[in-house]
Amino acid sequence: MSLPLVTTAERRHRLGRRHRLAPSARAATVAETADSVVALHATDAATVFLSARARLTEGGPDAIERALYEDVSLVRLLSMRNTLFAVSAELAPHVDASTARAIAAKERRTLLKRLDEDGQGLDAAWLAGAEAAALDALDAHGPSTGSQLSAAVPALRQKITISRGKKYETEQGVATRVIRLLAADGRIRRDRPRGSWTSSQYRWVHTEPWPALPAAESRTEIARRWLRAYGPATEADLKWWTGWTLTDVRKALATVGPDQVRLEDGTTALVSPGDTGPEPAPEPWAALLPGLDPTGMGWADRGFHLDPAHRRALFDYAGNIGPTVWWNGEIVGGWAQRSDGEIVWRLLGSPGRAAEQAITAEAARLAAWVGDARITPRFRTPLERELVA
């Protein structure tokens, strides 16, 4: 029996609806924007805000700040691919169990190895004492930056030598490493930054770790949600997106029980069980998505929504996508913000007059939303640099 066909056009329709980018599909809450794509990239502080903005029916940066720092319905976790993501509080325990726990354990092993190699007698007991002192300081002083924690906790001012005796020997403080470890363990979380919503100079607060869940069950839950948002896709796509081993990917997919479909190029891909029917076309939509937006980073192979000829202009050397312009599920250009606040964009191709009008309107909506804030992507791409020059 032949497999159901999912066309490129239908895959693009799915992006508009399931990623909440078509106007009628936009979300009412910030947590819903994250759930629509499973997780929002959070390496760059502005990405969380701009990704959520593109998917919300209304609300400004203050709505996203409330979700992150007051309601805590959206939380940042070091997780997939050892990268910082923002996920809904509902999904966070599954992300923690499926991915973050293993990363935290590796982080602890690495730091303990560094302490041992330094030769000052700093060991697991010393580290536990430093961590406890940092938590006590947060309880006593409230939300604190890394610098404030170091001022309050003498152990965090300790310095160690990395690669002693080698030509690249260097001395480093332990504060950043200890704080990173506490965050990876879920014992502290990022609170409001010192600056605006575009700043990554976070304050830290003491919090309780996420409830322990079976790792295999949580990987299944992540795989189920990811297939719903990103299918049709392959096990290679899921392995790339999660950073899991191929064995773990296959076990999770086997439990989900996905259906297979045929793509226009003749390859086979996976979708959620029963999700083989055609996707209705949403109304025409345009979007200006930030660098590292999950819709641009959801697959190892992005050929269905990006002309390979445009990849060099829109990605940096490491494969990080920059700010992009979308029309009906296809990347058609890039955008940037100049130092005076102007939003500028360039098309790569000729999507037509309707596309240009919609993109112009979306650029104006973005400019009004951003207001006086200034955005420079952490990972800069050739086209973004050209546009601001």
User: Which pair of tokens denotes residue 267?
Assistant: 């390859």
Query: Running DSSP on this structure, what letter comes out for residue 80?
Result: G
Cα Dmax for the chain: 69
Residue type, 18: R
Regarding beta strands 188-193 and 170-173, do their DSSP bridges make them parallel or antiparallel, or are they unpaired? Answer: unpaired
130 alpha carbon, distance to own chain's centre: 30
What is the spatial distance between Cα 107 and Cα 90, in angstroms, rounded to a whole number?
25
Q: CB–CB of 190/76 below 8 Å? A: yes
3-state DSSP: the chain helix, strand, coil percent, rounded to 5? 45, 20, 35
3-state secondary structure of 86: strand
User: What pLDDT is attached to residue 93?
Assistant: 98
Whether the pTM exceeds 0.85: the reply is yes
User: What pLDDT is attached to residue 152?
Assistant: 97
pLDDT per residue, tens digit, the chain (389 aa), is 699 999 999 999 999 999 999 999 999 999 999 999 999 999 999 999 999 999 999 999 999 999 999 999 999 999 999 999 999 999 999 999 999 999 999 999 999 999 998 888 999 999 999 999 999 999 999 999 999 999 999 999 999 988 777 887 788 899 999 999 999 999 999 999 998 999 999 999 999 999 999 999 999 999 999 999 999 999 999 999 999 999 999 999 999 999 999 999 999 999 999 999 888 899 999 999 999 999 999 998 888 999 999 999 999 988 899 999 999 999 999 999 999 999 999 999 899 999 999 999 999 999 999 999 999 999 999 999 999 98
Radius of gyration of the chain (CA): 22
User: What pLDDT is attached to residue 1?
Assistant: 65
User: What pLDDT is attached to residue 91?
Assistant: 98
User: What pLDDT is attached to residue 193?
Assistant: 96
User: What pLDDT is attached to residue 278?
Assistant: 87
CB-CB neighbours of 19 under 10 Å: 25
What is the spatial distance between Cα 56 and Cα 36, in angstroms, rounded to a whole number?
11
